[in-house]
Structure 1
Amino acid sequence: MTKLQIPRRFYPLWYLLQGIARLPFGVLYLLSDVLYFLLYYVTGYRKKVVFKNLQNAFPEKTEAERLSIAKQFYRNLTDIVVETIKLAAISPEELHKRVKILNPEVISAATNQGKIALALGGHQCNWEWAPSGGIPFFNCPIDVVYKPLSNSFFEAFIWQARTRLGPNMVRMKDTLRYLIQRKNQPRLFCMLSDQTPPKSEIQYWTTFMHQDAGFFVGGEKLAASFHMPVFFIHAQRVGRGWYNFKFIPIEPSEAARQTAFPVTEQFTRMLENWIQENPADYLWSHRRWKHQRPVGEAS
């Protein structure tokens, strides 16, 4: 994919973000603290969505517990914002110190056999750093499926930030053609599988954090078509700006195998367990449960 062009009218904003990206982490986190105050206390950015999601996802928790999770979520969110900007200028050496892949050998075991390994993740911790941070740990290309942003400037900025250290970005609509062209080339192929499909495209409904939720099943279908081993991306925030990632094989349980899409079902249960362990590190501002399951629609 060729470099995306920045419209000339956006040059001042481009240079501003590039300048921010070159600030030391200490200054960036001061900016994050200010941004947290503005989002949480001043503008109330998506507060209704966040608190509704938390109330439905954690009915067993007290209001005080959910409030604590919400505040920490907003702090984590603003950290992700400045860290994503930092991706536009961070050195490979600095990122390699801050992002660790704990078990790259499980992916290498697959790619060394000539296979494409499929990794399914969610909006956990800083999902933006994982592909670029993972480059030094693997001897194969890393591909990431993404949906282009509607704003041309931010699409160009984020695309450059995501690709400058090596990952390949694959538009969602180009996924099948991309894999067919590279079916004999070992690689790590990554997808965020917790996004909300358009209601007309939902092929699988299940319960996710006590709520009905529709899921994309493209990853499972691709895995079957291209004989890919499938892994769950387990993320851990070690500290501010420090992350560990681990790949866990997705092996459907007996209950999951009773459903129409067992890999998707098992991924959902693994993500659900991760959220229970790391509640403030999930993307609660996303309207994940906006669609209602049609009457009579089974899993």
Structure 2
Amino acid sequence: MTAMASLPLAVLYGLARVLYWLMAYGLRYRRGVVLENLRNSFPEKSAEQIQLVAKGFYWHFAQVIVEILKLRALSAAELRRRVTFTNPEVLGRFFPLNRQVLTLGSHAGNWEWILSAAALEYPGRAGGVYKPLTNPFFEDFMLQLRTRLGAQLVPMLSTLRDLVQHRNQGRTLSLLSDQAAGPEDYPYWTNFLHQDTPFYTGADKLAAQFQCAAVYVGIRRVRRGHYHITFTELHDGLTKLPAEQHQLTEAFARQLERDIQASPSDYLWSHRRWKHKREVRTKK
């Protein structure tokens, strides 16, 4: 994998075309899941339009795969050139105040490039929560890939301990907040892309407990291999938000919904985000 990562991106994008064909037409990778997600999320679109979005998704996903692989060998200078921040001051203003900031991202654009780009933009201040992989080889590969440009990784089960250790330090902790939460996670349910959707509530709880600020991370592909990141402040952390009201999670859902609707092919549609249904409790 390291040898392949050393290839120029122009060559890797040739590989991406092969991956695209295999996923879209050969293996038909999760084709049913992709189409069902798109039909339910965009009921106003015709069958032809849904097919076009699906085609765009597979091409986007193929590019992201080789871009993630390239991160193993991508230089800091090249990543800075390929990922730019439209308003870095929105996040940066919290650091001189020694405030912890939760940055809420999603599986849009190239989500793996965001943390490494942030580590270059804010040296020593960018951390991200991740779920360790069970395969030792891939766990080691991804750890090296994600941290080689200065990002810090925090295992999901160590999030609380990390926030305690870094209390009153100006840094950011990134959460991918669009995962499919199950009933055991006591999710927050809201209407998202025309569907009743469960969201994790970790951001609400952490912000309330540690008085963290919260910032939404939007990423937009401007051309092949180039992205713009835009921050939207959701909470300044100066006032305590009641966790049970889920204001941060609701604000995150609305921002993400707008971004997906603006560029639907650049979202990860192959994941079964709507596999869980809300439990309806009847009164006895």
- TM-score, length of structure 1 as denominator length: 0.89
Distance (Å, rounded) in 2 between the aligned partners of 1:285 and 1:201? 22
> Residue in 1 aligned with 2:50?
66
Tell me, yes or no, if structure 1 residue 55 matches structure 2 residue 55: no
- 2:255 is aligned with 1:282: no
Q: Are 2:173 and 1:194 equivalent residues in the alignment?
A: no
- Cα deviation digits, residues 3-56 of structure 1 (max 9, x gap): xxxxxxxxxxxxxx1011000011000000001101111100000000000000
Measured after TM superposition, the shift of residue 234 of structure 1 is: 1.0
Please tell me whether residue 158 in structure 1 is matched to residue 123 in structure 2. Answer: no
Contact 1:234 1:246 in 2 (8 A): yes
Aligned with residue 227 of structure 1, among 211, 223, 231: 211
Q: Does 1:260 align with 2:245?
A: yes
AA partner of residue 267 (structure 1): F
**Following TM superposition, by how much is the alpha carbon of 1:138 offset from its aligned partner in structure 2, in angstroms?**
1.8
User: Which runs of structure 2 are paired with 1:121-200 in the superposition (5 Å)?
Assistant: 121-200=105-184
Match of 2:256 in 1: 271
Correspondence 1:9-88 to 2 at 5 A: 17-88=1-72
Question: Are 2:97 and 1:113 equivalent residues in the alignment?
Answer: yes
Gaps of 5+ in 2: 237-241
**Displacement, 1:199?**
2.3
Q: 1: distance between equivalents of 2:141 and 2:81?
A: 24
Give the Cα–Cα distance (whole angstroms) in 2 for the partners of residues 202 and 21 of structure 1: 40
1:214 aligns with 2:198: yes
Counterpart of 1:10 in structure 2 is none
| Alignment correspondent of 1:249 | 233
Q: Structure 2 residue aligned with 1:104, among 88, 112, 128?
A: 88
Structure 1 gap ranges (5+) = 1-16
Higher mean displacement: 264-273 or 135-144: 135-144
Residues 98 and 243 of structure 1 are in contact (CA less than 8 Å); yes or no, is this contact kept in structure 2?
A: yes
Question: Which amino acid in the other structure matches residue 202 of structure 1?
Answer: Y
| One-letter amino acid of the structure 1 residue matched with residue 28 of structure 2 | G
SS in 2 for 1:128: helix
User: Is the Cα contact below 8 Å between 1:21 and 1:86 reproduced in 2?
Assistant: yes
Query: SS of 1:44's equivalent?
Result: coil
- Spell out, residue by residue over 1:116-166, the C-alpha distance to the aligned partner (whole angstroms, 9 max, x if none): 111101111000001111223225410001111222221211111001111
Equivalent pairs, count: 277
CA–CA separation in structure 2 for the residues paired with 1:140 and 1:184:
15
Verify the 8 A CA contact 1:100 1:134 in the aligned structure 2.
no
Return the offset for 1:241: 0.6
> CA 1:39–1:52 in structure 2 vs 1: closer, same or farther (change >3 Å)?
same
**Distance across 1 between alignment mates of 2:112 and 2:146:** 7
Q: Give the conservation status (yes or no) of the 8 Å contact 2:128–2:152.
A: yes
Q: What is the aligned partner in structure 2 of residue 12 from structure 1?
A: none
Is 1:193–1:215's contact at 8 Å kept on the other side of the alignment?
A: yes
**Residues 140 and 188 in structure 1, CA contact (< 8 A), matched pair in contact too:** no
Question: Is residue 232–residue 270 contact of structure 1 (8 Å, CA) maintained in 2?
Answer: yes
Rounded to whole Å, the distance in 1 between the matches of 2:269 and 2:15 is 21
Cα distance in 2 for partners of 1:207, 1:152 equals 38
> RMSD of the TM alignment (CA)?
1.7
* Equivalence for 2:277: 292
After superposition, give the CA deviation of every residue in 1:66-97 in whole Å (9 maximum; x if it has no partner).
11000010001011110111011111111111
Identity %: 44
1:143–1:189 CA contact under 8 A, matched in 2: yes
